Amino acid sequence: MTNIGVIEQFLPADRINTINQIIEDYQVKAQKVMNKPYITAHRDLYPKDSPIGAATQNWSNTFNASSTEKVCGVTGVTKIDSAQAVLILGWYTTADFGNDSRFYIKINDSIKSNVNARTVYTQPGHFLITPKLLAFAKENDDIEINVENALTIDVDAIVFPIAILYGEPSILGVD
């Protein structure tokens, strides 16, 4: 099982069990798709992890008015490391970006996990996890994690994908 952190307090037990089952199923998928049976571990994704590309755990950012930016101040496209994969389950935010704003993931130039930013913010705990938002990227895939701020003002916020990183235990720092 994984620790999906503080969001557990907002979810009924059956949803937590379903999420944990999805996480386990995608670990098997990662092993098969990449032909790497040694991918036996998973943990929560952090901003400093290479699939995001941030140098530090810079959770908050100022998202400029009427623009699209990457989370954690990342610039450009990030490539998933060899023998790793990432599963996006949903989104978390601390601010309302308005009706026309959105959060989305691009994997190899294809938009995935696309959601209206206000929909995420108005949920209990300001996060949204749903099967419609699932996105899976494997080793060597290009990934971008984007925030599109349609407001005419800058927004100071934390925006982060709720995600699981898969790989070897030694690489992920788990025992």
In a domain, 175, yes or no: no
In a domain, 119, yes or no: yes
Q: Which uninterrupted H or E stretch holds 172? A: helix 169-172
Hunting for tokens 């798709």 — which residue is that? 33
In a domain, 86, yes or no: yes
Checking if the pLDDT of 174 tops 90, the result is no
In a domain, 142, yes or no: yes
3 state DSSP class of 101? coil
Query: How far is 151 from 80, CA to CA, in rounded Å?
Result: 31
**Average pLDDT for 7-12:** 68
Query: How far is 43 from 60, CA to CA, in rounded Å?
Result: 21
On whether the CB atoms of residues 80 and 154 are closer than 8 A, the answer is no
In a domain, 61, yes or no: yes
Check residue 62 and give its pLDDT.
Answer: 87
Check residue 57 and give its pLDDT.
Answer: 62
> Torsion angle of alpha carbons 22, 96, 47, 133, nearest 10°?
20
Query: How far is 116 from 18, CA to CA, in rounded Å?
Result: 23
In a domain, 45, yes or no: yes
pLDDT digits (tens, 9 = 90+) for 114-142: 999 999 999 988 989 888 889 999 999 99
Check residue 16 and give its pLDDT.
Answer: 83
**For residue 118, what are the domain limits?**
5-170
pLDDT digits (tens, 9 = 90+) for 13-30: 787 888 889 999 999 999
In a domain, 42, yes or no: yes
CATH number at 19 reads 2.60.120
Instruction: Indicate the number of domains in the chain.
Output: 1
Binned at pLDDT 50, 70 and 90, residue 3 comes out as very low
Rg value, the chain, Cα: 16
How crowded is residue 45: how many other Cβ atoms within 10 Å of its Cβ?
Answer: 21
Check residue 10 and give its pLDDT.
Answer: 66
